[in-house]
Structure 1
Amino acid sequence: MEEPPRNPKFGLLKCPFALREEVIGNMDFMDAFHFSTLSKRSKQMVRKARYQIDFIKFRFEENIKNDRIEVKIKNNDWLKISMSDSNDPPVRDPTMIDGLKLANLIDEPSDDYRKKLSAHILSIFHFKSTHVHLERNIEHLDDLFLWDIRKQFDCVEVCLSRCDDISPEDLQLVLNNLVSKSYLLEFELNDSSYKYQKPLKYCESLDVRGSCQWLDPENILQRNPQMKDLNLEDLPGEQVNNLLKQWINGEGIGLESMGFEISWYNGIDYPDNVIFDGIDTMETKLTEEQANRMIVIWRHRGRTVDIQRKTDGRFATVHLCHSGCYVWMWHTKFFRNIMQIRSVPKIKKTVVKR
């Protein structure tokens, strides 16, 4: 009696590592994910293949039912995975992949499917940039299913709606526990007297919108010596002046730019005598063409001057206009490229009379 034909086995496990890595690296994201759930060995294979992905963002929405993971996969396509609370009814966005179903494919114990799925994705794929986006108040770290998995990110965004505000305690909970290279913060604080004075560990870029009155700018460059880009909206002119002086007096060695934008609805302005009070300014060394290459803001009517640090003699260019105050430090690679631009002499046309 003939034996029934056996199902052919998937032979990738027997292939040389270089070939396995090439095959896995050319899989689609979901194919690689499903392959990683077949066994412990397949999971290790995907991890060792170092499958590269540009971007992942964990979004905690205003309504917990809309929580999701967004992944930028190949060809600039976006993949969205629903991560709503497992206690909610299983009504999920049909345009998203159901995270609960994906988590059920992972043979690992967990009391929260979101933690299990997030841990699996972060362990097998290699992301160039990992972001967290918060649109609701986080009163307890347990509200962040990421907390038990990862505490350091490339960017943390806290963007609450105008009708919501945040307490100093909740703000400290986020800023003191989620370590990030970059912060984008837009919210209102419910305590106008509170000032945040702690250093933001590892922060290289800080962008505060809406209201920055909760942030104490005094000695902020000293508290955050690794800071490269600082952008604060609607900062009072006297505090802008203070920050310029902090840089002039030697703080912020690695600082590359500062921006102090004025929101259109605020109606305030930055007078020259306030911004440059007690600061020695000089005519900018930039040509008009070099200045125009810097940024579109430069084309607005305003005043452009250079300032110099007292400690090492480095220069920075300050542009003051109706939309705000913008500062660029000369030691950056971008600025060095700008300085290499020379104005092209205009060729005088000769008119031949006939």
Structure 2
Amino acid sequence: MLSGGSGSRLWPLSHAHRPKQFLALVTDRSMMQETLLRTKDADGFTPPLIVSSAAHIDLVEQQIAGIGQTPCAILLEPEGRNTAPAIAIAAEWIAAQDRDALMLVMPSDHVIADLASFHAAVMAAQPAARSGRLVTFGIQPHYPETGYGYIAKGEPLDATGAVYAVAQFVEKPPRAQAEVYLAGGRHYWNGGIFLFSAGAYLDQLAAHAPAVAAAAAAAMAQAQQDGVIIRPDAAAFCQSPNISIDVGVMEKTDRAVVVPVDMGWSDVGSWDALWAIRAHDAADNAIKGGVVSVDGAGNLFYVDGGPPVATIGLRDSVIVSTANGVLVMPRDRSQDVRLVVEQIQAGALDGMMPQDDPAA
């Protein structure tokens, strides 16, 4: 399980010291805890391997203790270098035990509402993964999202029609193109969930991103271990290029396949996405905390530690009230929260956030 991230997309609730995976956004458990519980006690799964930032170790330990989970290892990145090296150090640890062991890569900050469909997709993907393929799971789109990358499926590769060749990886498209993808039925959201053997990933990494592979191998060869906590060598790890698994490996390899799945997935990557998955009242408002809404519809109100909120006649908007700040915007501008964070980081609102948290 990958538990990195800086927490900027759900500012002001999440921030560098408390990214969204540590927040209880949808249920009474955090997103990280929900991710861990997805495979707990399920047939064929071992205890989880967690890759997280060294800065978050206290939070990680609190999270796993809160659900009585015991991981097989916690790998602590000395510095965030994106998903390709994060997955690489996990693959190195697994390969040291068994190169042929399958690893299911799950981001820790996603929602999956339909666990039965998720488990069925993982089962369907296993033969391809055992044959050396790198499986990515394509999420069935339900609206023309412009904030996600897409995967275009090619020809079916198995008799059941569960596994397909990857025809193309597509970067985040403009709205008109996303609508074409939705109507065409061949494109799926790229959810960043993968299944492959540790050895297959390391082999493809060495072929297509050798600097990442070399840095991960060196970092793990010199790692320090204290119980389940493993600290890869910082100097070696930080030699890795900062690159995603998609750019570093999946878009280059000829071993990529896709398993489409419709499982009630969301990466909760924006306030609009959170509005979409939370319960709504009769006026289509999603409300948490102390809120009075008069003649309002289609809004997300999220009060957590900040002052209560009252509105009149508000439509399709987001209001977030926390002790760290207040955010007000149209729902359709949710992807632009990063612009606010960038200005705050540049000092536009000095004193608004904790001084030791410049990325909050």
TM-score above 0.5, yes or no: no
**Which structure carries more relative contact order (alpha carbon 8 Å, separation 6+)?**
2
Q: TM-score under structure 1 normalisation? A: 0.22
Which one has a bigger Cα radius of gyration?
Answer: 1
